[in-house]
Amino acid sequence: MVDEIKMETKKVILKATNVEFKDFLLLLKKYNWFLYSNLEIEPSDEGFTDKFGATYWYLQYHLLRDNVIEIDNDDLLSLANERNIIFIWISLKTENNQIKIKLIDGVKWEIEYDSKLDISHLLPNK
- In terms of Cα–Cα distance, which of 43, 116, 55, 50 is closest to 85? 43
Q: What is the pLDDT of residues 11-48, one digit of tens each?
A: 888 888 888 888 998 999 999 999 998 899 988 877 77
Q: What is the pLDDT of residues 52-95, one digit of tens each?
A: 888 888 889 999 999 999 998 888 888 888 878 889 999 999 98
- In terms of Cα–Cα distance, which of 115, 114, 109 is closest to 4? 109
- How do the residues of the chain divide into helix, strand and coil, expressed in percent and rounded to 5? 30, 40, 30
Residue-range definition of the domain harbouring residue 82? 2-122
- Structurally, the chain folds into a number of domains equal to 1
Which residues fall within 8 angstroms of residue 25, CB to CB, at 6 or more apart?
77, 80
Instruction: Tell me the whole-structure pTM to 2 decimals.
Output: 0.85
